Amino acid sequence: MPDIMKFIVDGGPTDKDPAGNMLSLDDWSEDIARKLALELGIELKAEHWEVVNFLRDYYRLHGAATHARPVLQALEERFAKKGGRKYLYTIFPGGAVTQASKIAGIPVPADSVDRSFGTAL
């Protein structure tokens, strides 16, 4: 089924846009986060929750990010003592901004993945 049809047909209390982003921050719960993480092949542990909760707070303060770089810089600064970007990639191998944003139920910045280049932030 085309993504837009799935989007229309599968509605419900946790509606998502065609890109898979949740439409409302209020629809998010830890159970939904666990489900989203499992879809990404991640079993959430304390270190994941720390990043997810940081991103939700960041979103509340700054709103939706138009670019991934400021979000990544904020994450690197917050988790610098643990290893910064390297640490973040060990717990979110598909990119901390991309995967953690999706799990946190916040919009994933459009430029967080460059499929033609194979990078993920």
DSSP letters of 40-104? TT----HHHHHHHHHHHHHHHHH-S-SSHHHHHHHHHHHTGGGTHHHHHHHH-TT-IIIIIHHHH
Interval 69-89: pLDDT, tens: 999 999 999 999 999 999 999
Rounded to two decimals, what is the model's pTM? 0.78
Asked whether the predicted pLDDT for residue 21 surpasses 90, the reply is no
pLDDT of residue 25: 72
Domains of the chain: 3-120 (1.10.10.370)
pLDDT per position as a tens digit, 34-73: 999 999 999 999 999 999 999 999 999 998 888 889 999 9
